[in-house]
Amino acid sequence: MLGEGIAKGLVETARNFFGSYFTKDRLTTVQYPEERLPQFEAARNFPFLVYDGGDWQAGLRCVGCQICEKECPPKCIYIEKSKDKKPDAVGKLQFYPAVFNIDVSVCMSCQICVEVCPFEAIKMDTEFELSTDDRFGGLLWDKAQLAKSNEHYRKIHPTEAAEVDARLAEEKAKVDAKVKAAAENKTTPTSPGAVQPGSGASSTQ
């Protein structure tokens, strides 16, 4: 029938238009800023640096390896690696970023920095209310502005954060087990008559 496709399209358009006023799953307008739609877990805007514990400076997971800086397509990340080491959140001596800046006016939210980071130190935030009247300084974020807790990460990306926490906990458990085994081997007393490495002496006379 001539024009049948057009008629079906108009019916669908009318259904969507009137449904947007009455049907709950078609209500697309909210009274912003009084009302806000919940962010999808997969939403992403600009990166942030994850830290563990209560002190963001001690707890930053970033070790200043500069992989994200090298892989960033628009080159909006600038890092200076520290010359010294300091204890991280678990007391392990680590290098850290003496400077870590991101120019969010250049960032294209591609998430490549997240994908290449071997330390789960940089993730994508969902915050979008970031307007500023300072077009230069206000859009260049330093590590103090970028640092956000692992609790924040769990809140905005709960499924992903749970997987990351489980993987990090498993890796830590393996390292702790190796350290414990090495310590036990080191402190185990040598039994009488045992051959000492490099001594050349026989266990029997």
| Domain ranges (residues) in the chain | 47-164
Total Cβ atoms within 10 A of residue 93: 9
What CATH number was assigned to the domain covering residues 47-164?
3.30.70.3270
Q: Measured between alpha carbons, how far is 113 from 53 in angstroms, rounded to an integer?
A: 23
pLDDT at 27 exceeding the cut of 90:
no
Q: Measured between alpha carbons, how far is 64 from 141 in angstroms, rounded to an integer?
A: 16
pTM for this prediction: 0.75
* Cis bond before residue 33 (omega within 30° of 0): yes
Exposure string for 48-57, b = 16+ CB within 10 A, e = fewer: bbbbbeeebe
Asked if 100 and 62 touch (Cβ cutoff 8 Å), the reply is: yes
Amino acid at 168: L
| Residue 205: band (very low, low, confident or very high) from pLDDT cuts 50, 70, 90 | very low
pLDDT of res. 31: 84
What integer best gives the mean pLDDT of the chain?
A: 87
